[in-house]
């Protein structure tokens, strides 16, 4: 099942090239945000993403990262 594969490791899931490029970008943005550069954006464009789509990908991933850090910092969901 795709959801299970994505949870385990998106790199092993059966995805098309555009979805994989998007998730690769999100992974770098999440784990090494200072490493994001022109090459990452160009790679997304090569897979059909325009500036609006790239902005949306960035904003959604950034928002989830922010909210998760706020929740972690406040101990939300922890006993």
Confidence grade of residue 77 (pLDDT, cut at 50, 70, 90) = confident
- Segment 57-73 shows an average pLDDT of 96
Q: What is the pLDDT of residues 11-58, one digit of tens each?
A: 989 999 999 999 999 999 999 999 999 999 999 999 999 999 999 999
Say what the pTM is: 0.87
Confidence grade of residue 61 (pLDDT, cut at 50, 70, 90) = very high
DSSP 8-state secondary structure symbol assigned to residue 36 = -
In the chain, where the domains are located: 2-73
**Which residues 6+ apart lie within 8 Å of 25 measured at CB?**
36, 40, 43, 44, 57
| The domain made up of 2-73 is a member of CATH 1.10.15.40 | no
């Amino acid at each position: 099942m795709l959801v299970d594969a994505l949870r385990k490791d998106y790199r092993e899931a059966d995805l098309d090239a555009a979805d994989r490029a998007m998730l690769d970008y999100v992974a770098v943005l999440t784990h090494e945000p200072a490493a994001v550069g022109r090459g990452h954006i160009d790679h997304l464009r090569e897979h059909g993403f325009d500036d609006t789509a790239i902005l949306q990908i960035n904003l959604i991933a950034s928002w989830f990262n922010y909210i998760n850090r706020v929740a972690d910092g406040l101990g939300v969901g922890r006993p």
